[in-house]
Amino acid sequence: MDLNKYVQEVSLQDFGKEFRHQAVWNRRLRSTGGRFFPKDGHLDFNPKHLEEQGLEVFRKIVRHELCHYHLYFEKKGYRHGDRDFKQLLAAVDGLRYAPKLVETSKPSLIYSCQSCGQVYQRKRRIDLKKYRCGKCRGLLENNFIDHKRTSS
């Protein structure tokens, strides 16, 4: 898909205005579907949203970023809390928030208390010498296989 051409089409069809800058893919975006850069006017989009949610949801994300874009160049309120932004977003049926992506990050690490059995799930390791159970202050133990250390 030619992203720049698609964003230009959405801008003309849904806003009746031209998009005159660049739209680029950015896989590093984590918590957002897209970003608008007032400094140079370009837009970043997360391709994972298109892959996971489809074209209909992605179009609403594009509309959201185009609201920022057009309002900024019209010298109106282009930020999320501004009335102009909220009204235009509702008028073009854009998404207020990007839907959550399926998380493919680190596996959960599981720790349990040796005294009371309380279980804790974490994405990051914790120092077992430093931290104790929040319930009974007992010692914690890890209940996971460390693939990095056992592979050698």
Known catalytic residues are 65
What residues are designated binding site? 64, 68
Q: Rounded to an integer, what distance in angstroms lies between the CA atom of residue 116 and that of residue 80?
A: 46
CB distance 49 to 60 below 8 Å: no
CB distance 35 to 29 below 8 Å: yes
Pairing of strands 43-45, 23-25: parallel
What residues are designated binding site for Zn(2+)? 64, 68
Q: Rounded to an integer, what distance in angstroms lies between the CA atom of residue 8 and that of residue 10?
A: 6
List the beta bridge partners of residue 121: 110
